Chain A
Amino acid sequence: RKEVEQDPGPFNVPEGATVAFNCTYSNSASQSFFWYRQDCRKEPKLLMSVYSSGNEDGRFTAQLNRASQYISLLIRDSKLSDSATYLCVAPKAAGNKLTFGGGTRVLVKP
């Protein structure tokens, strides 16, 4: 089993709709998690940090389920500019290497 797994998608989303996708992790010792956004042929950019049960930033909500070992990202009122690959990250241990999932591709269409 991969340490961090994501549905590769693509998730085709009508503009204005809500989309949500999950990321599962295998290391129960992971304490903090991150969502990064990556545009085509660009570097990943930090979208959100998740340290406890969840986090919300505008249209973006991340939730952590430690019992089932997954985190989710929900995007409300999708914009065309939300089209990107969303990378889930679970550090192996505090301060240790970041373990990335393969990414979930989201395509928002008019």
Chain B
Amino acid sequence: DAGVTQSPTHLIKTRGQHVTLRCSPISGHKSVSWYQQVLGQGPQFIFQYYEKEERGRGNFPDRFSARQFPNYSSELNVNALLLGDSALYLCASSLDWLNEQFFGPGTRLTVL
């Protein structure tokens, strides 16, 4: 069975650009969460979606947005990129918003 998939695996952008990261959850899972992990730190919660509705939002600026599609896949968008946005962006899926979360391999974003 396929696990959580994310694309792209790596991405290099310059300051001011925008980026779209994609995530497909485990088949049957209806909840997707997004996390940002900076080197040397634990993942920081960005968003959680369940049944296409936002269920939670972390302390990130409005430059960060996300959505979930009818097939439960999800996109994370970041506008006006800053150097500090360089990080590993992790997507996690769960059966619903109450259960254990399983992570994808992440997208490593570098902002120059």
Residues of A within 8 A of B (CB): 4, 34, 36, 41-46, 49, 87, 94-103
Contacts and interface: CB of A to CB of B under 8 A. Distances in A.
A97 B103 contact: no
Nearest to A42: B105
Nearest to B56: A97
A102 B90 contact: no
B106 A98 contact: no
Given A42-B105, A43-B106, A95 B42 contact: no
Interface residues of B, number: 25
B64 interface: no
A43 B48 contact: no
Contact of B104 (A43, A100, A103): A43
Given A95-B97, A97-B58, A102 B105 contact: no
A10 B41 CA distance: 14
Contacts of A41: 88
Interface of B: 33, 35, 40-45, 48, 55-56, 58, 88, 90, 92, 96-98, 100-106
Nearest to A4: B42
Contacts of A49: 100
A45 B42 contact: no
Nearest to B103: A43
A100 B88 CA distance: 15
Q: Which 5 A-B pairs have the closest CB atoms?
A: A100-B42, A97-B45, A43-B103, A95-B97, A95-B98
Contacts of B105: 42-43
A98 B33 contact: yes
B97 A98 contact: no
